[in-house]
A and B are shown apart, each in its own frame.
Chain A
Amino acid sequence: MSFYFVQFLSGLAAAATLFLVSSGLTIVFGVTRIVNFAHGSFYMLGAYMGWSLIERWGTTPLGFWGGVALASLAVGLLGALMEVGLLRRLYRSPELFQLLATFGVVLVVQDVASAAWGAEDLLGRRAPGLKGSVDILDQPFPLYDLVLIGLGPVVLGLLWLLFNRTRWGTLVRAATQDREMAAALGVDPARLFTGVLFLGSALAGLGGALQVPREAVTLHMDMAIVVEAFVVVVVGGMGSLTGAFVASLLIGQLQAFGILVFPQITLVLVFLFMAVVLVIRPYGLLGRAEDAPPTAASPGPPLVLAAGLGRWAPALLLAVLALVPLVAGDYALIVLTEVVILALVAASLHLLIGLGGLVSFGHAAYFGLGAYGAALMVKHLAAPMPLALAAAPLLAGVGALIAGWFCVRRSGLYFAMLTLAFAQIAWSVVFQWYGVTGGDNGILGVWPPGWASGKAAYYWLTLALAGGALLLLRRAAFAPFGYTLRAGRDSALRAEAVGIDVRRHQWLAFALAGSAAGLAGGLYAFAKGSVFPTLMAVPVSVDALVMVLMGGIQTLSGPVVGAAVFHLLETQAMSLTDWWRLGLGLIIVVLVLAFPKGIAGFARDLWLRRAER
């Protein structure tokens, strides 16, 4: 009995940290509608800065708590700086571009933190005066964790006072309810947003600094916490502080007891929980329906099938690509094979984002399912490559049919979070189902047979299959299927009123996009000779998203261009410098600021302007 009580207390302590971070995220989202990926980076920076300050002054209680506060303030200032220097220029851009920009910041912060504090995990000093433990029902419990447990409700109370008893808080709430109206009443949104970013980031920094005595400070803290915080925010209801508090408590307990009851599926438990909550309560526990979730983009101009020479451009490109092996060496062919595969991943994601307005945060799941589909066929059934490659889109398509059925019942950011949840579920199944998938050892020895083992031969095979799939996706965009998908995105109301079953159509599109990504995954498995759970992990989904947005979502060539540019930047930059994350992050930020329509969109505008002249 006492053991369970202590486990319960541990859950509460974990919930306190979770609440600090997710309250900041939900405040920022509530006011600015920005999905701030960099929030996790601020948490990590808070931990690193806190570590440094505590190392120096943390021997006395004043020094320790002063250091924590200082770290939190410093991170808050960085958040305000990001608002002034970056986000402020993007409020008129599609919401997804703001997300992309914050992801650029994530990459930059990773390299800066690695340069400043090194790649080693850092163990921090424990809080003076709180080093010991107390006996609770004959079980020892860390004193520091008891303080954390008390801190959660205190912060909630302070935030409540701030939002309900101060003029600034009232203005923030007004802006949360109705941005335009608040602006019309003379509230300067820019200054308000700067303040909100300061507050939200400071909370993330506080959460990070408070973790120093509890766990090692690492360079992987950012992504882990931001995904968890998103889950809390979505479960609680976007923009709801109380919701975030309740959700933190629930998830803290879920993690504390989940590990006892279901040790096999601990990783997936939180995401299963979120999926169940969203299916039962579409807007989270305490969210409201009118909180319009972010949309992909303004509809944009009509898609026009290029006339004349432009009409043959895709075929021409394929023909040129087919000739490359005559001049290029093995290394170039390997990179180009990957580019073609990633182009298919990006194009299939673009079908959802660009045409359907459905922003998926979990597209890597289907890429990974395809890769595993092929690899499992080889490993367990000794299947020949053609059969294994056929299994790839099939398994991914079935997975997408199942996940899609749930996902398309929600829209906007809730859709995005459900796709993320299913991707995490797929990832943890692969990661923890050791007997079948080999867990994190992956599956090795997935090589093409002799006739396709040459770099050129496999490149041609990839070009034929992925190129064919790309052409099909392109045709589909101009065919009734793509038009219907756009109709549902432009106006679901009108689409339903002219006989279109929007949800069913989105479901089918989800399955189609999933199988296309699955084919890419199968091709990738044989290109690399092995598969690992990381293929389905969050960073791969984010990469795909970056490719699509970088290229531009309003053109069909965008994702292909984006995939090529992104992958070349990544591989080439990585070989040239240790600072590739910094470079890539800065490039993303510059691209977002300079080309809000993406590279392909920018090129098209340039072309049209020249044509008009």
Chain B
Amino acid sequence: MSRPQNSKLVVENLQRAFGGVKAVRGVSFSLAAGEVLALIGPNGAGKSTCFNLLNGQLRPDAGTVRLDGVDLVGLPPRKIWRLGVGRTFQITATFASMTVAENVQMVFLSRARRLLGLWTPAAGAFRDEAQSLLERVGMGAQADRPCGVLAYGDLKRVELAMALAGDPKILLMDEPTAGMAPGERQDLMALTSSLVRERGLAVLFTEHDMDVVFGHATRIIVLDRGQLIAEGPPDAVRADPRVQAVYLGSPA
């Protein structure tokens, strides 16, 4: 297994069960700056559980998650976010009563720890910074629309902008292109890849669309029934007989 020297996120022997169901059974991998790592696997393989373990929404039964040597296990999501792990959700979660720009401004305010202000209006705070991020993800023209009325694909972009506003080292994206048209999907992932290069990010994403996975991932890990069964560059994973068996069914 390859272990990059500048490794940022190191996951070792992650385990989590729900009652008798072992959703994640000893998963280990690492993720370094500049990587776009895809986590794939059939439905129910444990992908979303893995994500929730990484950002603190779930607590693992065993295993460690370290970011630059700092143990993340047991910390609540907001602390893990402050340490540099941003995330987008499978089912988008935004602040529906706010405009697109205000959603992003909220994140800047949180980062600056300016959430308790009682007097100065929030509407002007970090407005320019939010606008430039929204331009970057292609939402600049819709900055003043309420988030509650956006199309699903646009919400995914807003979530990306919100995640970037936190200036993360690691970005977790749970099915970032679900619900998008094929063209939109390629655009969003191309954008993600260029952000990774610009900002020295590391991205971990799950995805069902194999065109997106093999077109944009620099490395792929494959999860089946809670265990990693393959890891490597796209071409190697594509050729792996165990991966083919999981996706196409084994002749046994």
Contacts and interface: CB of A to CB of B under 8 A. Distances in A.
Interface of A: 299-303, 305, 472, 475-476, 478-484, 486-487, 489-491, 493-501, 505, 508
A475 B117 CA distance: 10
5 contacts: A480-B117, A486-B95, A487-B98, A496-B77, A500-B110
Contacts of A491: 93-96
A302 B93 contact: no
Contacts of B98: 302, 483, 486-487, 490
Nearest to A502: B78
Given A487-B95, A493-B89, A497-B93, A481 B76 contact: no
B110 A496 contact: no
Contact of B117 (A300, A481, A499): A481
B194 interface: no
A54 B18 CA distance: 58
A353 to B, nearest CB: 14
A462 to B, nearest CB: 22
Interface residues of B, number: 39
Given A480-B125, A483-B109, 4 more contacts: A302-B98, A484-B109, A490-B94, A500-B115
Nearest to A501: B78
Given A478-B123, A483-B106, A494-B94, A500 B89 contact: no
B121 A299 contact: no
Contacts of A300: 97
Contact of B110 (A299, A303, A499): A499
Contacts of B118: 472, 475-476, 479, 481
Interface in B113-133: 114-123, 125
Q: In the complex, which of the residues B95, B119, B121, B148 has the most CB atoms of chain A within 10 Å of its own CB atom? A: B95
A408 to B, nearest CB: 15
Contacts of B121: 305, 475, 478-479
Given A480-B122, A499-B82, A499-B166, A490 B55 contact: no
Given A299-B96, A487-B95, A498-B110, A480 B162 contact: no
Nearest to A483: B122
Contact of B116 (A301, A480, A493): A480
A610 B60 CA distance: 56
B111 interface: yes
A300 B148 CA distance: 8
Q: In the complex, which of the residues A478, A505, A508 has the most CB atoms of chain B within 10 Å of its own CB atom? A: A478
A302 B119 contact: no
B138 interface: no
A139 B147 CA distance: 69
A180 B218 CA distance: 43
Contacts of A500: 78, 110, 115
Contacts of A495: 95
A597 to B, nearest CB: 14
B87 interface: yes
Give me the 10 closest cross-chain CB pairs, A-B, nearest first. Answer: A299-B97, A494-B93, A490-B95, A480-B117, A299-B96, A499-B110, A484-B115, A483-B122, A478-B121, A491-B93
